């Protein structure tokens, strides 16, 4: 039997958003098994967040299989207790719009975050140092994260170009804004310059010419023309990944912590 807490969590998370962020734009029925797995992942993440009680953390999911590049988690956003939502945990992240060349900022419940047909339902929580959390909380509370958002989306956007932006890059540039102590970062150019000086290292993906051409021709949300020519021709595609953000926070922010959240199956329906 379900506990009352699980039932109320499921209902509150289900009603937390009127649309399923990140899902296909096609009107298809929600798979009940995927729905239960998303609920389990959301519930497990909520339990861990309730335990560690961060002001703001980053939460990552395994949205697609990146094992060919020795990567596991593919996408992340910020998670916090939103006072406008009765203090419930909410995820704020940038999402590609239905495979197009644009993105938007979404705010949604924890279970919704896992409704994007992920390849696995484990999560990763990254808790930055307390001072960074305080600045992120202020940005979230004042709805200021949009200032560094670019609608021109590219899944493999180059970290030090403002031509495009991918979802993880948006989060990283806002992290730079929160971590910077000496200057006030007002735009993407300043954020990227600060990241360079702070020693941020992107992940380098080996993508051959055939794959690059195929991606550029057949997918609107993939482009390579923002990458330096020498790296692009060598098949060395540098981009912002969850792994590179975790490494950067660990190196520059003593006191950061990470937690792997393994989703447990919900009890079987009676």
SS3 165: strand
What's the whole-number average pLDDT of the chain? Answer: 87
**11 burial class (0-12, 13-18, 19+ CB within 10 angstroms)?**
exposed
**Domain range annotation of the chain:** 4-261
37: tokens are: 């797995």
| Second-level CATH architecture of 4-261 | Alpha-Beta Complex (3.90)
Q: Note whether 42 and 100 are within 8 A (CB).
A: no
Give the integer Cα–Cα distance in Å for 62 and 7. Answer: 25
Give the integer Cα–Cα distance in Å for 51 and 241. Answer: 27
**167 burial class (0-12, 13-18, 19+ CB within 10 angstroms)?**
buried
Give 112's DSSP letter. Answer: H
Q: Which helix (H) or strand (E) holds 60?
A: strand 56-62
Question: What's residue 268's pLDDT?
Answer: 59
Q: Which of 123, 79, 168, 133 is nearest to 255 (CA)?
A: 133
Q: Report the pLDDT averaged over residues 129-140.
A: 97
Rounded to 10°, the helix 188-198/167-179 angle is 70
Question: What's residue 23's pLDDT?
Answer: 46
Q: Is pLDDT above 70 for 214?
A: no
Q: Give the E-state strand segments of the chain in sequence order.
A: 56-62, 75-82, 88-96, 103-109, 120-127, 203-206, 236-239, 257-261
Give the number of residues written for the chain: 270
Which has more pLDDT, 26 or 248? Answer: 248
Q: Report the pLDDT averaged over residues 225-244.
A: 94
């Amino acid at each position: 039997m379900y506990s009352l807490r699980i039932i109320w969590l499921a209902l509150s998370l289900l009603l937390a958003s009127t649309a399923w962020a990140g899902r296909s734009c096609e009107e298809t029925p929600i798979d009940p098994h995927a729905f239960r797995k998303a609920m389990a992942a959301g519930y497990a993440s909520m339990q861990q967040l309730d335990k560690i009680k961060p002001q703001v953390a980053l939460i990552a999911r395994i949205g697609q299989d990146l094992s060919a590049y020795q990567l596991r988690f593919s996408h992340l956003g910020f998670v916090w207790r939103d006072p406008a939502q009765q203090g419930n945990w909410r995820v704020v992240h940038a999402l590609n719009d239905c495979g197009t060349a644009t993105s938007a900022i979404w705010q949604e419940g924890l279970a919704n975050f896992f409704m994007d047909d992920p390849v696995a339902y484990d999560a990763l929580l990254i808790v930055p140092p307390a001072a960074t959390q305080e600045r992120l909380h202020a940005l979230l509370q004042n709805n200021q994260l949009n200032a560094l958002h670019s609608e021109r989306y590219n899944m493999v956007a180059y970290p030090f170009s403002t031509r495009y932006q991918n979802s993880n890059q948006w989060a990283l540039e806002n992290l730079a804004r929160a971590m910077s102590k000496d200057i006030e970062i007002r735009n993407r150019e300043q954020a990227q310059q600060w990241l360079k000086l702070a020693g941020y290292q992107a992940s380098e993906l080996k993508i051959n010419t055939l794959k690059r051409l195929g991606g550029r021709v057949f997918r609107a949300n993939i482009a390579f023309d923002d990458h330096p020519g020498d790296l692009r021709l060598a098949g060395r595609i540098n981009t912002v990944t969850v792994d590179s953000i975790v490494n950067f926070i660990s190196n520059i922010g003593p006191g950061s912590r990470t937690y792997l959240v393994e989703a447990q199956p919900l009890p079987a329906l009676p």
